[in-house]
Amino acid sequence: MYYCGIDIGSITAKCVILRDEEMASSVVAFRGYNSAEAATAVLEEALRLAGIEKDSLVRIVSTGYGRAAVREAHQQFTEISCHALGASYLVPGAATVIDVGGQDSKAISIDPAGKVLNFVMNDKCAAGTGRFLEVMAHALEVDLNDFGALSLKATSRAEISNMCTVFAESEVISRIASGATREEIIAGIHDAMASRIASMAARVEIRPKIVLTGGVSKNIGLVKALEERLGQRLEVPAQAQIAGALGAALMARKTLDSCPRA
């Protein structure tokens, strides 16, 4: 049987199709203005890649920032539960999930089955999120995709003490004026962001294995800074960005019997 999960985040739309418990296809695309159209687009592309028709899907679950806009969904679940389940699938034995998305970040304590035990979420401020990094990249005139590699070249860090995005941008500009290199400033940005995320994560019980999910997990500079702050190694699966959509697909499979297709 085929099951589908669609995760509509603040920046990207993700879709995963499972054939029983194996991934048949996955898609990541920029969300754009219309969440409903983005959901349909990633679903159609995932179906094409899986080589099946929509009628083959026995259940579709949506999650994420725009989950209510997914017209094709039979049911919705929060990103907390879906990221927990997806991370547990990707990293068996995972106990803590740290998800850093475009406009929020979260830390989740989970049991061996991927069930949420406790969580904390930052969704009121851009600090500690992908949006914070976007603003900093703009201020430094650097491609965000180069941020991680550049920070690893730094021999020292320029201190960034303010995590309010507006004030941090001003602080970055002042560091440029004082002669700090881009690499040093970016390393400082990652350290400040890692400090914020680590403080948030400390409010749940941090237990290894720790899994990092979300689009920001691709930033090696932040991964290293966060490992330093936590004093522990992070597991970063290759499919970290689709953990939420994967969890939604797993939820579709899990809930099919109790919530039959409408």
Digit-coded pLDDT (tens) for 97-129: 999 988 889 999 999 999 999 999 986 677 778
> Mean of the per-residue pLDDT values for the chain?
91
Report cis status (omega within 30 of 0) of the bond before 218: no
Alpha carbon distance, N-terminus to C-terminus of the chain: 17
Mean pLDDT of 193-222: 92
Distance, CA of 21 to CA of 250 (rounded, Å): 8
Distance, CA of 110 to CA of 127 (rounded, Å): 24
pLDDT at 261: 43
pLDDT at 257: 58
What domains are defined for the chain?
Answer: 1-91+239-262 (3.30.420.40), 94-236 (3.30.420.40)
Q: DSSP assignment of 95-155, as one string?
A: -EEEEE-SS-EEEEEE-TTS-EEEEEEE-S-STTSHHHHHHHHHHHT--GGGHHHHHHT-S
pLDDT tens digits for range 219-232: 999 999 999 999 99
- Residue 254 vs residues 122, 195, 197: alpha-carbon distances, Å: 28, 36, 31
DSSP class of 72? T
Asked whether the beta carbons of 91 and 211 are under 8 A apart, the reply is: yes
pLDDT at 260: 44
pLDDT at 262: 39
pLDDT tens digits for range 165-192: 777 778 888 888 888 899 999 999 999 8
- The residue among 62 and 122 whose pLDDT is bigger is 62
Distance, CA of 57 to CA of 191 (rounded, Å): 44
